[in-house]
């Protein structure tokens, strides 16, 4: 894939830390989701818009690598990109940076469902192109 072109940021909440004094491992999946939502807001008018058009996306696989401990109040920039659209499936990749330092990365895989039947459905072309211009070519 090409370089990450989308980014958003979060600040680590106190509630996201644990008794080891660092952000809990499950919080990263919430941050990945925040990045996906922001990504969809920028490129396809938001997740709600996708729902209104009759689609739902579900998460089918997640992967996180924790490279450096992250602490309360750290500002984390999340770089995200969408790709690998095949049939009803797509994936997101993420890189989390604090200052210039890579502190974590990972990816998630998803399936696009028809909201009426809740069964996997092929991407409409406009959505495939909006999410991954390279793929739609």
Which residues of the chain form contacts with a second copy (CB under 8 A)? 13-15, 17-22, 24-27, 29-30, 33-34, 37, 46-48, 56, 58-67, 69, 71-73, 108
Provide the minimum distance between the beta carbon of 98 and a second copy in the complex, in angstroms, as a whole number: 15
Provide the minimum distance between the beta carbon of 26 and a second copy in the complex, in angstroms, as a whole number: 4
Beta carbon nearer to a second copy, 60 or 102: 60
Provide the minimum distance between the beta carbon of 135 and a second copy in the complex, in angstroms, as a whole number: 23
Rounded distance between C-alpha atoms, residue 132 and residue 137, angstroms: 9
Beta carbon nearer to a second copy, 54 or 133: 54
Beta carbon nearer to a second copy, 63 or 122: 63
- Dihedral class, residue 87 (left if φ above 0, else alpha if ψ from -120 to 50, else beta): left
Beta carbon nearer to a second copy, 64 or 112: 64
What are residue 70's DSSP bridge partners? none
Rounded distance between C-alpha atoms, residue 93 and residue 23, angstroms: 20
Q: Find out whether 23 and 70 touch, Cβ atoms under 8 Å.
A: yes
Q: Find out whether 74 and 107 touch, Cβ atoms under 8 Å.
A: no
Q: Spell out a b/e string for 103-115, using b for 16 or more CB atoms within 10 Å of the CB, else e.
A: bbbbbbebbbbee
Provide the minimum distance between the beta carbon of 32 and a second copy in the complex, in angstroms, as a whole number: 9
């Amino acid at each position: 894939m090409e370089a990450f072109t989308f980014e958003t940021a979060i600040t680590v909440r106190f509630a996201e830390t644990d008794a080891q004094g660092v952000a809990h491992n499950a919080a990263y999946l919430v941050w990945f989701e925040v990045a996906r939502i922001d990504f969809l807001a920028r490129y396809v008018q938001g997740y709600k818009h996708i729902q209104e058009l009759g689609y739902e996306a579900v998460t089918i696989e997640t992967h996180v690598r924790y490279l450096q401990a992250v602490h309360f109040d750290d500002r984390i920039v999340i770089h995200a990109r969408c790709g690998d659209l095949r049939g009803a499936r797509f994936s997101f990749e993420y890189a989390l940076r604090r200052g210039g330092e890579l502190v974590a990365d990972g990816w998630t895989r998803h399936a696009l469902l028809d909201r009426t039947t809740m069964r996997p459905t092929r991407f409409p072309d406009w959505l495939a192109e909006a999410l991954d211009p390279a793929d739609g070519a």
